[in-house]
Chains A and B, each alone.
Chain A
Amino acid sequence: MRTYILKRVIQAIPLLFLISFIVFLSIQATGDPLAAYTVDASLTSDDIARLKAKYGLDQPVPIQYLNWLKNMATGNWGTSYFTRESVVDMFLERLPNTLILFAVSYSLILVVALILGILTAVRQYSLFDYSVTALSFLGIATPSFWLGLMLIYLFAVRLKTWGLPSLPVGGMYDLSEGKTLAEVARHVILPATTLSVVVCARYVRYIRSSILEQLQLDYVRTAAAKGLRSRTVLFRHILKNVLLPLVTLVGLDLPNFLSGTIVIESIFAWPGVGRLFWSAAERTDIPVLMAIMLFVAVITVLFNLIADIFYAVVDPRISYS
C-alpha cells in the first residue's frame, strides 16, 4: 500500500505542472504586459528594453515560466493591477470566509443527505420515498443562482414585508451588530443552503441506490441469518460500505462546489474567494484571477489525492500493489 500511495503522489506532480503551465499560458494569452508603455512617446525603445530586462520579460518563455512558478510557490503572487495590494494578502483575507461557507454547507449536505438517503432506502416505494425522490430530481435540475434569488425573495424579502422574523439579504454581518458569531451564523444560512441543495439532492440519490444495492448482497443475508436486528445490519455493516465511496464523491465534487461559490458569494455579497475572483474578473485584474485559478486547481488535485489515499487506508478489501 505504501507503494500505491507513493505512486499516486508521483502521478499528481506532472499534473500540477501541467495545470500551472495551462494557467501560465492563459496569462501569456492576455497580451504584452508592457503594451501600455509603448504608447507613451516619452519612453524610448531603450527604456522599454530596460523595463523588459527588469521584469525578466527579455528571457525565453520557458525561463519566464520557471521564474513565475518559483514566485507562485514562494508566495510572491504579485500585486493587483487595481488596488496595488499584494495578491497573497487579498487572498488570505478572503479565504477563511469561504472556508466557513464550505464547512457549514458540507455539514448540512452530509447530515441531510444521510438522513433522507437512509429513510428513503428503508421505506422504498413509500409516499415519503416518492416525495423525496421527486424533490431531489428537482434539486439536481435547479440552477443554484436562481435558487438563491428565490430564497432571498422568500426568506429575506417576503418574511420581512409580512413583519415576520426574516433572514438578511446578504453580507456577512450587520455593521451595527459587529462581527459576532450569532450575526455570521444568521448570514451564512441562506448562501450555505443555496450551495447545498444541488449537491445534497445528488447525494440522497446516491445513498439511496447504494443502500438498496448493498441490501441484495450475501453479507447482509448472512448478518440477518445469524439473528442481527435490521438496525444493527444497517448501521454496523451497510453504512460502512455506503459511506466509503462518498469520500471519493466529495473529492470529485469539489470543483463544482468552488464554481458555485463564485455566483453564490456574488449574489449574497459574501466576502469570500469566489466574490474576490468575480470582482477581479469584472476589472480584468489578471494577477488576482490567475492566482485564484491556480490555487483552486491545486487544492482540487490535492483533495482528490487525499481522498484516494484515505480510501486506500480505510478500505481493507482492495489490495494495492
Chain B
Amino acid sequence: MTASGNDSQVHGTVPLANLGATGALVRPAETLWSSFWRRFVRHRPAMISLVVLLFMVVASFGVSLFVSEDAANLIDVQAMRSAPSWEHPFGTDDVGRDMFLRTLFGGQISLRIGLLAASISVVIGITVGTVTGYNTGWIDNVLMRITDALLSIPTLFILIVLTRVLGDRIGVGNIAFITLVIGMLSWMPTSRIVRAQVLSLKEQDFVLAARSLGCQAGRILVRHIVPNTLAPVVVAATLDVGRAIIFEASLSFLGLGIQPPTATWGSMLNRAQAYLLNAPWIALFPGIMILITVLCVNFLGDGLRDAFDPHSLH
C-alpha cells in the first residue's frame, strides 16, 4: 500500500517530507502540468509560435471592436489596385477593397474553420479509434475498412465533389457546411493513432484492476483509457488545424469555398493570379498569413510533442 502511495507521487521528485525539515535537498514538488509547462517553455520555436498565434487571434478577432466587417467589404473603385501605402498597408484589391482589413477579417474565418474542423476531426477520431481498438470484432473490421477506404481517396477530390454536388443544394460557400466537411474528412490519422494506443493500453494492469473492481466498459474507456491517449491526439490535432486551413484556402482559391465579398485568406487569392503583373501584393499578403499560421501551428505541435514526452531532453 505504501509502495503504491509513493508511486502515485512519482512526479513529486522529493516524496519524503522529513527531508525538508533537515533543510537539505528541498525542491518544490512538481506536478504533471508544471513539468509539462517547464519542458514546453524551453522549446523556443514553440513558445514564439504560441505568442505569434495568440497575436493573430487577438488582432483578427479584436478588429471587430473597432471597425465593422462592412469596412473590409467596401468597394472603392477610385483606389483600385493601389500599392501598399500608409493608407492601405497591404494595398487594395481589384475592386479597391482594403487588403489589410480583409486580411484581418479573413483571419477570423480561416482560423475559426481551422480550429472547428480540427475539433470535429478529433471527436470523430477519438470515438472511432476507441471503439475499434477496444472491441475487436466485426465493428472494428467494418470501421477500419471504412477508414482505409477514406484514406485511399485523395481528400481534395472528395471535398470538391461534396462541396460541388451538395453545395448546390445547401448553398455554395456555407461556412458551417465547409467546416463540417473538412472535419469529417480529416479524422482518419487521429483514429489510427488512438486505436493503436487503445490496443496496447487495454492489456495493461490498471485496466484489469478497474475491470475487477466492477467498472463498466464505458467508464473504463472514458475514465481510464481515453485520457492516456490524449498526448499524441493533441499533437495530431494541432497539425489538423494547419491542414484544415490549407484545405479551406485551396477550396476558396478554386472558388468553391467561401464566396466573396466575405474574405478568407483563400478567397482573397481567388482572383490574384489575373493581377500578378500589376498588383502582386494581392497574392502576397494572404499567402504569407497562411504560411505563418501553418508554420506556427507545426512548431506548436513539435513543442507539445516534446513537452508530453518525459524522456525529452528539453
Do A152 and B246 contact each other (CB < 8 Å), given the known contacts A281-B160, A301-B152?
no
- Selected from A29, A141, A150, A157, the residue in CB contact (under 8 A) with B165 is A29
Stretch at the interface among A12-20, A65-73, A102-110, A227-235: A12-20
Closest B residue to A300 by CB, please name it.
Answer: B152
Is B153 in contact with chain A by the CB < 8 A criterion?
yes
Do A149 and B153 contact each other (CB < 8 Å), given the known contacts A26-B165, A29-B166, A281-B256?
no
Closest B residue to A278 by CB, please name it.
Answer: B254
Closest B residue to A256 by CB, please name it.
Answer: B154
| 11 additional contacts (CB under 8 A) given A143-B287, A145-B250, A300-B154 | A14-B145, A15-B152, A18-B149, A22-B149, A22-B150, A26-B161, A157-B277, A161-B277, A262-B160, A263-B254, A282-B255
Name the B residues within 8 Å of A259 (CB-CB): 154-157
- Selected from A143, A150, A152, A255, the residue in CB contact (under 8 A) with B153 is A255
Closest A residue to B151 by CB, please name it.
Answer: A255
The distance from the CB of A150 to the nearest CB of chain B, in whole angstroms, is 7
The distance from the CB of B90 to the nearest CB of chain A, in whole angstroms, is 15
Is A120 in contact with chain B by the CB < 8 A criterion?
no
A267 and B298 form a contact (CB under 8 A): no
Stretch at the interface among B12-20, B224-232, B289-297: B289-297
The distance from the CB of B281 to the nearest CB of chain A, in whole angstroms, is 10
- Selected from B249, B287, B298, the residue in CB contact (under 8 A) with A137 is B298
B165 and A293 form a contact (CB under 8 A): no
The distance from the CB of A32 to the nearest CB of chain B, in whole angstroms, is 13
1/0 per residue A249-279: CB within 8 Å of B? 0000011101110110011000000000110
A18 and B146 form a contact (CB under 8 A): yes
- A149–B284 CA distance with the chains assembled, in angstroms: 9
| Chain A contact surface mostly | helix
A143 and B246 form a contact (CB under 8 A): yes
Name the A residues within 8 Å of B157 (CB-CB): 258-259, 262, 277, 292-293, 296
Name the A residues within 8 Å of B250 (CB-CB): 143, 145, 263
Name the A residues within 8 Å of B246 (CB-CB): 143
Name the B residues within 8 Å of A142 (CB-CB): 291, 294
Name the A residues within 8 Å of B294 (CB-CB): 141-143
Closest A residue to B150 by CB, please name it.
Answer: A22
Name the A residues within 8 Å of B84 (CB-CB): none
Is B269 in contact with chain A by the CB < 8 A criterion?
yes
- A296–B145 CA distance with the chains assembled, in angstroms: 18
B273 and A149 form a contact (CB under 8 A): yes
A141 and B242 form a contact (CB under 8 A): yes
1/0 per residue B164-195: CB within 8 Å of A? 11101000000000000000000000000000
1/0 per residue B130-158: CB within 8 Å of A? 00000000000000011011111111111
A143 and B249 form a contact (CB under 8 A): yes
B154 and A255 form a contact (CB under 8 A): yes
Do A293 and B152 contact each other (CB < 8 Å), given the known contacts A18-B145, A266-B254?
no
The distance from the CB of B278 to the nearest CB of chain A, in whole angstroms, is 10
Do A150 and B145 contact each other (CB < 8 Å), given the known contacts A143-B294, A281-B161, A289-B161?
no
Is B96 in contact with chain A by the CB < 8 A criterion?
no
Closest B residue to A198 by CB, please name it.
Answer: B246
Within 8 A of A (CB), among B235-264: 242, 246, 249-250, 253-256
B165 and A296 form a contact (CB under 8 A): no
A141 and B164 form a contact (CB under 8 A): no
Closest A residue to B160 by CB, please name it.
Answer: A281
- A138–B146 CA distance with the chains assembled, in angstroms: 33
B253 and A145 form a contact (CB under 8 A): yes
